[in-house]
Amino acid sequence: MDFPDMLASSIHDIKNSLSLISNTLSDLTTNADNHFADSRQVNLLQHEVLRVNNNLVHLLTLYKLGNNGLMIDIRAHNVEELLEEVVASNQAVCTALGIDLRYQCDPTLSGYFDFELMRSVIESSIGNAQRYARKQILLTANHEDNYLVIRIEDDGTGFPAALLELPKESEYAISIMQFSGRTRLGLLFAYKIAQLHHVNDRTGHIQLRNRRTLPGGCFELWLP
């Protein structure tokens, strides 16, 4: 076993341990017999555990992608079901942080994508937005220019100008890794996953902007 394989195996073991910790925290907080002096601290601890776990998932996925070992399952899905699921799984942490997390989507809107990979991308973006949002995070989805566009917005200070100016084409992955911000792994993951979704000459991509509906950053995921 070479070093990359050993590293991937170690990451997998760590991820399993973190999942156990996260599940234990969930059991503790949902048990009515348990009383905490500050339940907000427990929720924030669970948030950090999930954030680290998500980063490990991203690393493993990128490793599998680089070794042609990633299996994807692209099929038709109801978009509202996806957004409803990710909002529900992140609601407790946002409540603890004093952030209003909500989504807006036509109940009949559908798209073709790998459900679990898209969930991971959106949850990663929500996790980033939680660090910068003041009071609001908004998820929206609609069809634009023959693409399904999913947006995650916040009311924070927005993305730094240097990040908005990164190239959008083949050099994007290299530029992301050279960027000094803490969001680079999540963005690289989102970029790679979006590229796996393509129809004829149209390929999925991501886009960053500021001050769309809310005054902060806006992460956009475009899927053909």
114 has a pLDDT exceeding 50 = yes
Summarize pLDDT for 21-35 with one digit per residue, the tens: 877 877 777 777 777
Cα 17 from Cα 12, distance rounded (Å): 9
Cα 123 from Cα 129, distance rounded (Å): 10
Q: Which CATH class is domain 74-223?
A: alpha beta
pLDDT computed for residue 9 by the predictor: 77
Summarize pLDDT for 47-70 with one digit per residue, the tens: 778 778 878 888 888 888 888 888
**Which residues are within 8 A (CB) of 32 and not within 5 positions of it... i.e. 6 or more apart?**
none
Let me know if 128 is exposed, middle or buried by CB neighbors in 10 A (0-12, 13-18, 19+): buried
User: How many CB atoms sit inside 10 A of residue 186's CB?
Assistant: 22
Q: Which of 60-64, 73-77, 139-143 has the lowest mean pLDDT?
A: 60-64
Cβ–Cβ under 8 Å, residues 83 and 105:
yes
Strand duo 217-223 + 147-154: pairing: antiparallel
Domain boundaries, the chain: 3-66, 74-223
pLDDT grade for 167, boundaries at 50, 70 and 90? low
Summarize pLDDT for 175-186 with one digit per residue, the tens: 555 555 555 778
Let me know if 207 is exposed, middle or buried by CB neighbors in 10 A (0-12, 13-18, 19+): middle
Average pLDDT for residues 107-112, to the nearest whole number?
Answer: 97
Average pLDDT score over the chain:
85
Task: Report the share of the chain in percent with pLDDT over 90.
Answer: 45
Q: Which pair of tokens denotes residue 120?
A: 């991971």
Residue 168 dihedral angles phi and psi, to the nearest 5°:
-100, -5
Strand partners, 203: 198
Cα 172 from Cα 163, distance rounded (Å): 11
Residue of 53 and 211 predicted with greater confidence: 211
Residue of 89 and 142 predicted with greater confidence: 142
Residue 147 CA from chain centroid, whole number: 19
Residue 95 dihedral angles phi and psi, to the nearest 5°:
-60, -40
1 has a pLDDT exceeding 60 = no
